[in-house]
Structure 1
């Protein structure tokens, strides 16, 4: 068989109702598959106010809003209507992109119908409790994730560093890579816009420390703001530019009263905003890849990031940016100060990052995942598939 023979049922906890890096990657994947004449059907919660139009056919899965984070929805068990739709569609592979209730239900449906399953890992869910004073839950979450991923025929991670974490956690025997790409027409050094900077009161000689992402605590907002406090106490001249929206914006604004909040940006506007920074600070440890890190590199600006999954596979420490021990505020501040006081070093590291970013082509990356689908379907048909991890215990 080849890619055009695929009939993929893709389950997502958030395909398009809130914009984030994971669901944008999924939509790009579906677009690529459809161009290869594969068939794809997406099952996800929906709302009346989606963040963007979905790519491909989207079937609504019953869901409920999270009480303290109503912008997100939790998928429930597959309804009889969804199961009827699945049966009529008759997929030959199931892709699970979030370990939620609907995905657990989908694993049971796929096993019953002898359909191979692949799971993609998009975020480190087990680390989230750290940001809400519930770190004691982490081992429980790891155990739950292990049970889920071991039921799949294979799992894919967006970076080598995250794949190694999954192997160390014994999540599955078959761990592959589905990386991320970057649109070089949008994210490029040429998109830097001096007039746009000036519109925010940023002088041409100002060194701008940027943050890009959803404004939620799990993105490391506390570490970011503590680092900026250190820079200010040291008297290092700089400006702070925050790009993004989210429920923690009010908290972030109160912590950084001198920062410039540009709000949500997308497409060419986002490329312009990133290229108009002088350095990016990304202290998050929850990313499995770090789309914003790659986008900043493509724009030719150096990245100061946590030495954690995702950034470890992207940033060459001391060459295209700096990798800092998670939470080490003083070291983050040291790295930013070096760039602020030595713009030539920042330009050198930024240029190295832009060269590395040239490797990341969306079509090449998505083709690799499509070939993994084909392999799993073929293995199931030939009876040569690897047994799911749980069957080997």
Structure 2
């Protein structure tokens, strides 16, 4: 049985988009007959401060049927030295675990700190290394408001990423945009594969009926309801969505906006909403437990993703629109590159110009006013997720990568790569 050790920034029981993608991958690989474990760096313990679901740092720790090993200690020291210390500690932990568990492949997931640690350990151990890029973290820091494009930190992070990509045996990206950017840097496309974001339909593919009591308690009325469920980062463009609400309500007086989640932009968004002429139509719920998210999806007629135009959103495909499609929701989104990879305008969703509240409002008014086409579009979008973005089938794409590195041709659970 092939053994894959996934090298991670953080994992379950912490909750984030990063950990949910990891969970889906590992569960799907287990179902396919692979033996998988994860190992996390020192940021797992650091991350406990921002997660209400964090547990003590056990090693190993079993969460939702998955085994994770931990790297002791916390990041410390001056910038640069701190990150190098994280790489060193994680590389040592990988080597020690490999002596015990004997993985066939080290599968590192971004950020580049994980990739560099796996690369160092893999070279010492003679184990092939796969590096999977979910986003360029220097661009993510710009989008999160914690970094500046072109800064010394930005350039150093990019250089480290390039060094990892050049050194590993194979590279996987979550979308075409990231792969194209690497090719533009001079890397060989033949060493790359794409593993797109997906949805675990076994967990997320059975939409709930609308809870009328919950809707009444939130003041949503009969709607229509525009929803957003996710993290409140500046790049998500929720300020544009709030700015569009007066025009939407002018044409559709019963329309409501439901915002579920939280994050760095949360306080500013609440102030903006309070000052809006459409304030009565805007409802903030805050963060909800992950197992209750589908209750709030069920309240929305349209789920809207008004991301700002920037490198991060142009290069990276998000997970949330796929979740909304799986839940049988209409999807509307800004026409940034990451959304265009997932959404076909007029067929699986509606696209509108980014950074433009007027364009957003007009798109929503048109969509909400054409109910006769809703059922067909929802069914088309759901079928798209089932055919192209179900983890149970998508995870098979890893096998040719692994087997090429190992010189194998093996069937797992009746599936030939």
- For this structure pair, what is the TM-score category when the shorter chain's length is used for normalisation? 0.7 to 0.9
**Partner Cα separation in structure 2 for residue 374 and residue 175 of structure 1:** 14
Matches within 5 A, 1:84-163: 84-128=96-140, 129-132=142-145, 134-137=148-151, 141-163=157-179
1:292 corresponds in structure 2 to 320
Q: In 1, are the aligned partners of 2:112 and 2:160 still within 8 Å (CA)?
A: no
1:386 corresponds in structure 2 to none
1:42 corresponds in structure 2 to 38
Deviation of residue 314 (structure 1)? 1.8
Secondary structure (helix, strand or coil) at the match of 2:87 reads: coil
Question: Is 2:311 the counterpart of 1:283?
Answer: no
Question: Is 2:29 the counterpart of 1:33?
Answer: yes
Secondary structure (helix, strand or coil) at the match of 2:10 reads: coil
Deviation of residue 190 (structure 1)? 5.1
Deviation of residue 294 (structure 1)? 0.6
Q: In 2, are the aligned partners of 1:280 and 1:296 still within 8 Å (CA)?
A: yes
1:390 corresponds in structure 2 to none
Deviations 1:170-204 (A, max 9, x none): 45532212123324453445543333322211112
Deviation of residue 27 (structure 1)? 1.7
Matches within 5 A, 1:177-216: 177-184=194-201, 186-188=204-206, 191-204=209-222, 206-216=223-233
Judge which range, 29-38 or 296-305, deviates more. Answer: 29-38
**Partner Cα separation in structure 2 for residue 21 and residue 157 of structure 1:** 16
Question: Is 2:297 the counterpart of 1:274?
Answer: yes
Deviations 1:33-82 (A, max 9, x none): 33444332311143466548354321112454799xxxxx9981343455
Deviation of residue 325 (structure 1)? 4.0
2:348 corresponds in structure 1 to 320
Deviation of residue 145 (structure 1)? 2.1
1:12 corresponds in structure 2 to 8
Summarize the Cα distance change of 1:154–1:325 in structure 2 as closer, same or farther, 3 Å threshold: farther
Deviation of residue 95 (structure 1)? 0.6
Summarize the Cα distance change of 1:144–1:358 in structure 2 as closer, same or farther, 3 Å threshold: same
Summarize the Cα distance change of 1:299–1:27 in structure 2 as closer, same or farther, 3 Å threshold: closer
Deviation of residue 364 (structure 1)? 1.0
Summarize the Cα distance change of 1:82–1:188 in structure 2 as closer, same or farther, 3 Å threshold: closer
2:69 corresponds in structure 1 to 59
Q: In 2, are the aligned partners of 1:74 and 1:100 still within 8 Å (CA)?
A: no
Deviations 1:333-387 (A, max 9, x none): 22122223333345543333223222132221112213422222227xxxxxxxx
TM-score (norm 2): 0.77
Deviations 1:11-45 (A, max 9, x none): 11011253122321212222233344433231114
Judge which range, 287-296 or 324-333, deviates more. Answer: 324-333
What are structure 1's unaligned runs of at least 5 residues?
Answer: 68-72, 380-393
The answer to which structure, 1 or 2, has the higher relative contact order (CA under 8 A, 6+ apart) is 1
Q: In 1, are the aligned partners of 2:218 and 2:283 still within 8 Å (CA)?
A: yes
